[in-house]
Amino acid sequence: MGKEIDMYSVIDLETTGGEFNKERIIEIGIIITDGKKVLDSFNELVNPRKKVDFYVEKLTGIKNKDLENKKEFAHYSERIQQMISNTIIVGHDVQYDYRVLINEFKKIQVEIKNETFCTFSNFKNKFPELKSYKLNSLCEYFNIELKNHHRAYDDAKATFKLFKILNEQ
C-alpha cells in the first residue's frame, strides 16, 4: 500500500463585510489540488440576502445589484461540501475564510471540520526578511500573476501558486 496523498482545497471568499460573525459570502473560489495540479474548481457569486458594505463594493467591484439574481449559499452547499470533504483547507489568512465558511454551513445545519493551512503565516515563518505578507505583495515578490485582486477565484489561484512555492521549500 502506498502513502495516502493529501488533498487540498484552496479557498478564497469575498464577503459582505460588517459585524464579526455576521458576514455572508458574496463570492467563493475553490481549487481542489493534490498540491501540484488543479483537479477541480468552483467559482460563483452568491446572493447573501443582505447589503454589501460600500467598502467591500469598492474593494471587490461586486455590487449589490450583481448579486440580486444569484443563488444563495445553500444552493451550492452540497457541491462545496463534497469538494472540500477530506481535504486540508488552504487560504491566505485561512482563519477568516474558514470561520465564515463554517458559519454559512451552520445556517443550514451542516457542520464541517477540516484541517487548515495558512499561506500567510507560513510565508511569515519561512521568509522572515520580507516586508509584507499581503497576497498582492507576495505575488509581486515571487512574480505570480494576480489579475483581479479581491476577486475570490483569482485570489484562490494566486494562493495556490504560493502554496506550491511553500511545498517546494
| pLDDT (0 to 100) of residue 4 | 67
- Would the CA dihedral through 55, 43, 89, 24 be positive or negative? positive
Whether pTM > 0.85 for this model: the answer is: yes
Average pLDDT, the chain: 95
Give SS3 for 124. helix
Is pLDDT at 101 greater than 50 in this prediction?
yes
- pLDDT over 90 percentage in the chain: 94
pLDDT band at residue 35, thresholds of 50, 70 and 90?
very high
Phi-psi region of 11 (alpha: psi -120 to 50; beta: other; left: phi over 0): beta
pLDDT band at residue 83, thresholds of 50, 70 and 90?
very high
Is pLDDT at 92 greater than 50 in this prediction?
yes
What the block records as the C-alpha cell of 102 is 463554517
Strands 8-15 and 25-33: antiparallel
| pLDDT (0 to 100) of residue 3 | 55
Does the structural domain 8-168 have CATH classification 3.30.70.600?
Answer: no
> Is there a contact between 167 and 35 (Cβ–Cβ < 8 Å)?
yes
